[in-house]
Amino acid sequence: NSLYTTFATTERKYALRTETTFDAGRAVQETVVYNRQTNRTLVEEGGFFYDIDENGNEFAVEGYISDVGFWNFVRMFRDPNISGPFFQVFGWTFTWAGLSVLFSFTIGLALAITLNDKRLKGKKIYRTLLIIPWAVPAFISALVWRNGFFNETYGVLNRFIVQGLFGLEPIKWLNDAFWAKVSVLLVNTWLGFPYMMTVSLGALQSIPEEFYEASSIDGATKFQRFRKITFPLLMVTVAPLLVGSFAFNFNNFTGIYLVTQGGPAIVGASTPAGATDILISYTFKLAFEGRGQDFGFASAISILIFIIVAGFSWINFKLSGSFEEVSR
């Protein structure tokens, strides 16, 4: 018993070529469509190309139209090879946006409170140094982190900290799903905390000192003053900006694609989905990368992104109005 395998080659029946004709003694070149099997040039009439079959009958050469409808939306939920990776990307998009806002706001607020302390000397120098990550273009910072810090062999983190300081095995920053997610969050926190620090510092300076003086007389601790005075008044200004920052990170293509390019790939996925892909980078890869240009499925995801971001915008408007009423 032997096993036979048959291979076949395919060729396009119609192709383009350049033909030269003469008009009033002048050579004119034009691009035409021809039948590669018969070498016959097709005739164009009214925007259609016509060929001749074996019986000498003329027929139009054209494509076909298929009614897709909502099939691309159905694929998100019914095809297991698509729905599984898609919901991983969908869930990570929310996690990525939420953690990016949480980490950058927490660090930015802590630095703002420190810089707002009247006893601190050299505030201008510290503010200038801490604003640098915001001043440098994001794509430059992302590439520096990718090639200078996260390189598995020569990167600063592995060579001097993981191996040099702790003597551990090098971390696969960009090739392991967990560490790749840690990597993009580190980079985005680095890029985001100066903005949060600047906004929080401006909001802190607008809080009247009389509130703190009255609370000190009543015997309130620093934590109580922060919880009862600083944080509620801070949120009047910052809360709408946090929602806007969440919406921005929800579509933060640069923060993902320049660091990990959405990788590492999700095993078993029939679409080019990666462990750190968010919806916008996944849409880009569907449309312009991978095994084919799936514009239909990419468009369906784009519509979903629009609906979600529109929801964030509505929430932002509601929050802005609510906090304006409180501030009055």
User: What is the rounded CA–CA span in Å between residue 245 and residue 188?
Assistant: 12
Give the residue with greater pLDDT, 151 vs 4. 151
Average pLDDT value for the chain: 86
More confident: 56 or 169: 169
Distance CA 284, CA 282 (A): 5
Residue with more model confidence, 181 or 297: 181
Q: pLDDT tens digit string along 204-240?
A: 998 999 998 999 888 889 899 999 999 999 998 898 8
Q: How buried is 314 (Cβ within 10 angstroms: 0-12 exposed, 13-18 middle, 19+ buried)?
A: exposed
The proportion of the chain whose per-residue pLDDT surpasses 90, expressed as a percent, equals 50
Cα–Cα distance list, 309 to 209, 240, 303 (Å): 38, 14, 10
- pLDDT score for 90: 93
Q: Measured between alpha carbons, how far is 49 from 62 in angstroms, rounded to an integer?
A: 7
Look at residue 98 and tell me whether its pLDDT is greater than 90: yes
pTM of the full predicted structure? Answer: 0.77
- At CA 188, angle to CA 182 and CA 189, rounded to 5? 85
Q: If you write DSSP's letter for every residue of 114-178 in order, what string do you get?
A: HHT-TT-S-HHHHHHHHTHHHHS-HHHHHHHIIIIIS-TTT-HIIIIIITTTT-PPPP-TTTSHH
Over range 281-301, report the average pLDDT.
Answer: 84
Where are the chain's structural domains?
14-61, 71-327
> How confident is the model at residue 324, as a pLDDT?
52
Report pLDDT for 50: 81
Does 100 have pLDDT greater than 90?
yes
Judge whether residue 4 has pLDDT over 50.
no
pLDDT digits (tens, 9 = 90+) for 31-51: 788 888 788 888 877 667 788
Q: Which top CATH class is 71-327?
A: mainly alpha
Cis check: omega of the bond before 80, within 30 degrees of 0: no
